[in-house]
Amino acid sequence: MEAWVADIGNTRTRIARFSGSEIQAFLEVNSLEAWLEQKPEKLPLLISNVSKKQLDFLADWENCWHLDQNLKLPFENRYKTPQTLGADRKALVAAAQVYFPGENCLVVDAGTCVTYDLLLNGRYYEGGAISPGLNMRLQAMHEYTGRLPLADPKQEMVWPGKSTQESLLAGALMGLALEIDGFYQTTLEKTGTLQLLLTGGDSSMLSKQVKSPLFAHSQLIMYGLYQILKFNVGQKA
């Protein structure tokens, strides 16, 4: 199946063209409307719109799907408030089905916030957790104190920190890595087996600090969107 998927976030829009089960083209654009000016092929298109930007300009696109609460999912959603579950979290759970079908999976998305989502037996979405992301932690320590500076998350982390900058980054980055390890170990004790998937803008830094065995993939959400699109196209057929 050939199709487009688009992930509209708060700061960037990412688009992928799939053919079969693989990404054939990937790009980041300022807006979906700007992408349309390039006159892309009008293949089936699934959109995840976390930003809630208006997309009226897509009205004439046939086979355009929106990942909202009315779209069918390839797993059973056991979230108590399904209408509040973010489209990005749904897509990441679907991506876990692609890479680890039938298995217990904990999906971690390390972005502005860090989300944890648990899929059991490849079929049942049980919910998860949300915590502050790396930059949010650094920003909070700077803004809610009188003297602490804003640490640079791109500098090398040192433990123990031998300066205020190093101490701030160690607390935020190492603390977040230990948090991920803690969620993994606590969940593993209950499930017996568990796959840990890591994605998001800070995943490359965190993958060096997390001790638990993990599968890191920068474009995990795109594969999840494609999985959901294929499921709905099949339902429609």
Given 7, 56, 88, 202, the catalytic residue: 88
Give the strands of the sheet with 13-19, arranged side by side: 22-29, 13-19, 2-8, 45-49, 64-66
Please provide the size of the chain in residues.
Answer: 237
Identify each DSSP E strand in 69-219 by its residue range: 76-77, 105-110, 113-120, 124-132, 195-199, 215-216
SS3 215: strand
Q: Is the alpha carbon torsion for 60, 62, 66, 70 positive or negative? A: positive
Which amino acid appears at position 216 of this protein?
A
Our answer to whether residue 88 is catalytic in this structure is: yes
Give catalytic residue positions.
88
